[in-house]
Amino acid sequence: MNFTRDDVEEALAKNLTIVALGVAINCINGMIVFTYLNNAVFHNDTRYILYIHLVINDMIMITLSVSMYVLTYAYPIYNVSVCCMLIVIGSTTHKNTPLILAGMAIERYIAICRPLHHAQICTVQRTYILISIIWFVGFIPPLSDVIILLIVKPWSFFFTNIFCYPYTLYSSKYYNEKTKVVQAVYLSFVWLILIFTYFRILAAAKKAKGDSPASKAHNTILLHGVQLLLCMLSYISPLLDIILVPFFPAHRSKISFFSYLITNIVPRLLSSLIYGIRDKNFAKHMSVYCSCKMIIVKVKPKVHVNKEQP
């Protein structure tokens, strides 16, 4: 949120940087989604279904986040009803990311440590049920905030205009305390799952030899942990502003910009690296589209033999 107005050159540089990064990330993720949709081999694999859902979730969040950042310069004041809708979508997608990472870690744990039960447990239908549950769980906290706002505020409040910022919209001590509790519960739950699955898969990897699936899986879980750490940076972004701004008050706008860039935009690149590049099967199919190769099927024409009568 830009509480101070930048000069034209600085504002243009910030917006171009954010938009360029957002477009680049969404282009990469769009290529990943395109690769998934055009290769039926991935459609029945639970691992890839969860992964592509993570990519789509990040695309929605990046698009909304970048759009709202640019609009804070062009038109920072929103109708309260529109602001509620935007914050609910942004908050839901933000909370979905750690939950999806937890689901992907559990799937790898079952595949490595319970291989005989993997086909029965990790079915396509159950995967989509899990995705629905993730969206529902991520949707509950922001929905509860809106319901409480409907109770405590008069109807006329929803037809007014405000700066679209969560702490401006939900200006109460309850919101601050509830947000801290929800974040702690979500992240604690995900960290417990990641730690448990990592050490169980690590134990299986030590028993195996060479470049085994267990070794690859425990490296993937470790990358999930790194990704979760990067996602957690968004929770300390306000803390960075509180610590740094008093020392550099003249550069408050720059501090907020780099804090937003490092904690909200850059971490979304890691999703593409985990499977889009590291996974050999997915990278093989994606390289076909990235290199613009076309598979041309040549059909041998039929030869019509004319039987000439003597």
Structural contact between residues 169 and 162, judged by C-beta atoms closer than 8 angstroms:
yes
* pLDDT tens per residue, range 46-61: 988 998 998 999 899 9
* pLDDT tens per residue, range 12-37: 888 898 899 889 889 888 888 888 88
* pLDDT tens per residue, range 197-223: 888 877 777 776 655 566 666 666 676
Mean predicted lDDT score pLDDT of the chain: 78
Cα 285 from chain centroid (whole Å): 22
Alpha-carbon gap, residue 29 to 276, rounded angstroms: 9
* pLDDT tens per residue, range 60-83: 999 998 888 888 887 778 888 888
Cα atoms found within 13 Å of the Cα of residue 279, Cβ hemisphere only: 20
Alpha-carbon gap, residue 59 to 119, rounded angstroms: 30
Structural contact between residues 71 and 79, judged by C-beta atoms closer than 8 angstroms:
no
Both tokens of 24, joined, read: 């680049």
Structural contact between residues 108 and 57, judged by C-beta atoms closer than 8 angstroms:
no
More confident residue, 39 or 219: 39
* pLDDT tens per residue, range 115-139: 888 888 889 999 999 999 999 999 9
C-alpha radius of gyration, the chain, whole number: 24
Q: What is the CB neighbour count within 10 angstroms for residue 232?
A: 16
